[in-house]
Amino acid sequence: MKRIKGFITSGILLLVSALPAQAAEPAKPEQQVSFSVQVSRQVERDTMQVVLYAQQSGKTLKEISPIITQKLNLTVEEAKKRQVQTGMTNRRTNISYDKQGKPSGWIDYGEITLESQDFTALSDLIASVSEQLAVQNIRFTLSEQKKQSLEKQMTEEALQAFKQKAELISQNLQTKGYQIANLDLGSPSDLAVDSQPVYYERRAVFSASETPSMQVESGLADLKIQLNATIYLKND
């Protein structure tokens, strides 16, 4: 009877001692791969923004301020006729000085911002008020509607490009698929640049002949969106 008990006890010890050996077997490590994909697109800027200004000098502000006000109001009325949007109006006055450095009068300065997707209408407006106001600068950008549409399209393209590249990596390394560890998707990069003023001498082309309106070219925006990804390759 004692021998049987001893045999059973030994069997239990052997079984228990075998368990840690099985638990200690290392799991197969997952392969981690990081890569990036980029989608680019060239699109025409669809919005034209113009800053016009007028400046008047005189002995008193009472003398010159009504002149600037009249010119700005005239531009607003002409803009309404052509359905051109009017934006911020900037107005400032400064003291003028003679050659001896003594105050000699005042300078009144006013500017107005105009915006339209109808380049012809806005160019015609500039020409119609050219005797009253001069061009400070012109820039071309993308409308909010076009920005949102492009961002959606390019995001879909970037995600599709990611999927294709991840599957290609998995197939060529002969693994059983992949699992996403991290995705970092940015916005189209050129949109932020478009918010900066672009002087018309560099970006717009005006006709040399004296025509009622100016011929302009908006130029193209090079948009890029990048997706950075990290995936785990499945071995099992």
pLDDT in tens, 141-192: 999 999 999 999 999 999 999 999 999 999 999 999 999 999 998 877 654 4
**What pLDDT is attached to residue 50?**
96
Q: Look at residue 21 and tell me whether its pLDDT is greater than 70.
A: no
Q: For residues 205 and 118, give the distance between their C-alpha atoms in angstroms, rounded to a whole number.
A: 16
DSSP strands (E only) in the chain: 31-44, 47-58, 85-97, 103-116, 134-141, 178-185, 220-233
Average pLDDT on 222-233 reads: 93
Q: Look at residue 41 and tell me whether its pLDDT is greater than 80.
A: yes
**What pLDDT is attached to residue 89?**
85
| Residue 146 CA: distances (Å) to CA of 11, 36, 105, 150, 169 | 77, 26, 48, 6, 34
**What pLDDT is attached to residue 197?**
44
* Chain centroid, CA 193 distance in Å: 6
Q: For residues 124 and 199, give the distance between their C-alpha atoms in angstroms, rounded to a whole number.
A: 19
- pLDDT band for 51, please (50, 70, 90 cuts): very high
**What pLDDT is attached to residue 29?**
56
**What pLDDT is attached to residue 214?**
57
DSSP string, 106-134: EEEEEEEEEEES-HHHHHHHHHHTTTT-E
Percent of the chain with pLDDT over 70: 76
- Under 8 Å between Cβ of 117 and 82: no
Q: What is the mean pLDDT of the chain?
A: 81
Q: For residues 171 and 37, give the distance between their C-alpha atoms in angstroms, rounded to a whole number.
A: 18
Radius of gyration (Cα) for the chain, nearest Å? 35
**What pLDDT is attached to residue 216?**
66
* Contacts for 236 with CB less than 8 Å, ≥ 6 apart: 28, 176
Dig out the tokens for 209 from the structure. 């002949």
**What pLDDT is attached to residue 28?**
55
**What pLDDT is attached to residue 204?**
37
* Contacts for 79 with CB less than 8 Å, ≥ 6 apart: 85, 86, 114, 125
**Could you tell me the domains of the chain?**
28-45+143-236 (3.30.110), 47-141 (3.30.70.260)
Give the tens place of pLDDT for each residue, 196-207.
444 443 333 333
Residue in the structure block whose two tokens are 């052509």: 82
- Under 8 Å between Cβ of 229 and 25: no
- Under 8 Å between Cβ of 107 and 57: yes
